[in-house]
């Protein structure tokens, strides 16, 4: 954040952080604009303050869509589904797969992992009420169905994950292959993205000026972005170049960071 030009850095979170930044405190001056996602309480706080200060947009709950073929690891599918479901009881988590075996084993892994999660109070109702596992006949149907979701985060666990770049157009960010995941994109490798929100695409994005972001691409560990047009669709894709760039570098950094929601 310092390298990005931040004048002050505060470690705050929740509704109290929104209130402090909006009206100021003994040690903090009020800000002009608040940007970034949060849970339902943060969204309501931003709604009530809209007009007194600027805000970027009203963001809905976080979500994840995992695309998997018969080569995918059901444990990885389950962990990554729950990594977003734990953000709140209204967070959708869906798996589309070409393999019934992967679908059934993923369901079993979710049931095994849920009872021991410290965030079970959030993850369990989210999975119960908004979780989905869908089995399709082939890779063509998988991508066709995935585009109808227009999900914020799309994780591709297939033999040829980069095919998604050619076949999909409706998403916030793509995470290509087992070596990357949503947490890397949100907290480490720096991809921009739009908040799609289940067929409710937003023109907002995670950028300081809150304008629609350009197409971007990033390869862990060093982001590399290319601007095409200020008004082009905001999308992002991330994939590691090798296991060495995913595990030893990004893993420890990401795992040391608290949840942003």
CB distance 132 to 67 below 8 Å: no
Strands 222-223 and 218-219: what pairing? antiparallel
Partners of 33 in beta bridges: 54
Of 36, 85, 29, 28, the closest CA to residue 57 belongs to 36
Task: Please identify which residue in the block is written with the tokens 């227009």.
Answer: 150
2 assigned to active site: no
Of 60, 66, 96, the closest CA to residue 197 belongs to 60
Task: Please identify which residue in the block is written with the tokens 């979780």.
Answer: 131
Query: Phi and psi for 259 in degrees, rounded to 5?
Result: -65, 145
Out of 153, 155, 160, 166, the active site residue is 153
Out of 152, 155, 160, 166, the active site residue is 152
152 assigned to active site: yes
Give the active site residues.
152-153
């Amino acid at each position: 954040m310092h390298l990005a030009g931040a004048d002050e850095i505060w470690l705050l979170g929740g509704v109290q952080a929104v209130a402090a930044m909006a009206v100021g405190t003994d040690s903090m001056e009020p800000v002009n604009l608040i940007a970034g996602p949060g849970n339902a309480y943060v969204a309501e706080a931003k709604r009530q303050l809209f007009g007194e200060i600027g805000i970027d947009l009203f963001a809905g709950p976080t979500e994840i869509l995992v695309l998997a073929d018969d080569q995918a690891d059901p444990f990885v599918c389950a962990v990554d589904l729950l990594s977003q479901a734990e953000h709140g009881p209204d967070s959708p988590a869906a798996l589309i797969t070409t393999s019934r075996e992967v679908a059934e084993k993923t369901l079993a892994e979710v049931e095994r992992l849920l009872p021991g999660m410290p965030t079970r109070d959030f993850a369990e109702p989210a999975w119960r009420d908004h979780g989905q596992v869908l089995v399709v006949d082939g890779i063509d149907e998988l991508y066709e169905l995935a585009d109808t979701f227009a999900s914020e985060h799309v994780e591709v666990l297939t033999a040829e994950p980069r095919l998604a770049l050619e076949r999909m157009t409706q998403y916030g960010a793509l995470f290509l292959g087992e070596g990357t995941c949503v947490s890397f994109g949100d907290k480490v490798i720096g991809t921009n993205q739009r908040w799609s929100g289940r067929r409710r695409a937003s023109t907002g994005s995670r950028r300081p000026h809150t304008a629609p972001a350009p197409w971007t691409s990033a390869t862990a560990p060093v982001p590399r972005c290319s601007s095409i047009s200020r008004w082009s669709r905001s999308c992002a894709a991330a994939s590691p170049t090798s296991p060495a760039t995913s595990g030893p570098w990004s893993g420890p950094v990401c795992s040391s960071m608290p949840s942003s929601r």
